[in-house]
Structure 1
Amino acid sequence: MRYKILFFILALSLVFIPVPIQAASPEKSTAEMLARERQVLFEHMQVITGTPWYYLAAIDQYERSIHKKPKKNGDASASSGLTRKTGIIFSPERWCGFLNPNPGDTNPASISFFGGLGKDGDGDGKADPDNDLDVVYTMASYVSKFGYTEDDIRIALWNYYARDKNVEIVSELASLFRHHNRLYLSGSAFPVPLHYNYSYRSTWGDPRGWGGRRIHEGTDIFAGYGTPVRATKHGVIETMGWNPYGGWRIGIRDVDSTYHYYAHLNGFNKKFKIGDVVQPGDVIGYVGSSGYGKPGTSGKFPPHLHYGVYRDNGKTEYSYDPYPLLKRWEREEYKAKKKQK
């Protein structure tokens, strides 16, 4: 009875709680409002299960990044009148149980009997994988079984995903959301300040020979030694140090789980270290010509920033062309500067 009352209060709050949004474009207002609604859901589930809201938010955000579109489950959600606002997806085998003869089972008792994870999160007697309350409650309950410390939660994540990179990304997203205490993190910056001299063109996919035949996994932005290098998105510093190919390099995981790779640096901004949170425009290092050898090797090519982006699909990570992003961020920053004049 106690849980049913909590679920009822939760359902009411999700429907009626006011979400203040400052005046903005319709697209931004909608995205910000949806993000706030999801955060309210995660915060309520923390009260009920003890699982930190920012970890639930991180799992949801990671699931969004590895699934191109919100799951429709064969349009089941449409037929049931439900519109998913979260991105967490359970396979039928996990939700209903691997030995369950009914892959569409929504009966909590039979799901439990067959070892499924699915739970009733809103007290309606059904464990529906298309119902946000049921899905988030199920995930929160699963994580809470392992405990509530950072290590406990990382163990829960590894047991669920069985991949170290997934655990690392979710943990980084959790620290990002915890730091800002909000989910809606927008904004971007071009990697180098626009008032510096620089040039670049699309070079992603070009052949490279040092260290063996390979393709160029990024865009080179040529600029003078010491030109500031900036974080392009909100994110967490994942890697920092020497790489034989990239020299002094920094890797940042952003709020959409994309990995941003900054290489051939002349040095780092000493205020930052691995695990720190950065925002668009933060100076993280400086243009150089390091790389292609042992630590400290420099000068084998003109100074430039190698900028790459990598997407994780839940199973592997792959490079894609950053040039369109760079052109967009450059254009948006120029427009913003003109408006300020």
Structure 2
Amino acid sequence: MNDATVVRAVDARKSYDGTVALDGVSLDVHEGEVFGLIGPNGAGKTTLVRALTGTADAEGTLELFGDAAGDSDRSRIGLLPQEFGPPERLTARELVAYYGGLYDESLPVDDVLADVGLADDADTWYENLSGGQKRRVCVATALVNDPDVLFLDEPTTGIDPAGRRALWGLLDSLADSGVTVFLTSHSMEEVERLADRVGLLRDGELVAVGTPAELVAEHGGPARFVVAGPDVEAGADPLRDAGFAVEVGTDELVLGDVTPAELGDAVTALADASVGYESLTWTEPTLEDVYLRLTGETFEGTFTPGASAVGAAADGVAGDSDSAPAAEVER
């Protein structure tokens, strides 16, 4: 990544029939940078992508490579929209070849299909591919012109975990080669894994921008220790007496700002009060916590998004080895 600005927005504004979609958005994205844009449905993410690629009008300054977005060289841009429905009675190879034919120069079709993991399914009709395979074909159509900037709106929707990780590796390689990637996603795991910087859009406003680590440090909140079980409420007062801040949830106690060194003290306080539990979970904050705090969204039935023992993950995304460390003890 270098300091050359590839994508630029200054005071971008857009409304639809009186509804504000973009409200003064300003940002710069540099050559070779992966920029992740997150936010709730309706926050304006897709509108911003369309404005930056010149496929929708907006007020303000919107530039690619120093030119007005609508006047930029289209051959240098790869775009994967959130919704994309190509002809279904074409094979994967035919579809990618068709989109490659729209440019004066393009990459070898078979190479692009191999890059997205479809070498063995290149001659399968689009309509007979799985949902994840269809999405990979769509990614291939955005790559076939060998773009210098790549806009991906929810690129891994429907792709299985192995395919998703393979695509992440491909995007890493593209960024390392100098391609700028502008990514929108509801997968906080994906954004935290890929993005050099992240912007959070809420109600058309860019409310936070920074590296994932910076956003987690500033907005993620403290580490949490969760005591789960049907009768754990009895442990609230003993834990408070031991100096812990405790919130009582449904069959759980949530202790905020607990360091690993303090875990033993909490367990001892429970044992001294003869309070049983089914599980103990300690988690550090993640980008998911940042998202929930800044958007005001919550999970039903839990104080502790991101804690594997007490709640389901948002948007079908489960934690794994790339997530923040979690310590869990079962009794």
TM range (shorter): under 0.3
Higher share of residues assigned strand: 2
Q: TM-score when scaled to structure 1?
A: 0.26
Q: Which has the higher contact order (CA 8 A, sep 6+)?
A: 2
Q: Provide TM-score, normalisation by structure 2.
A: 0.27
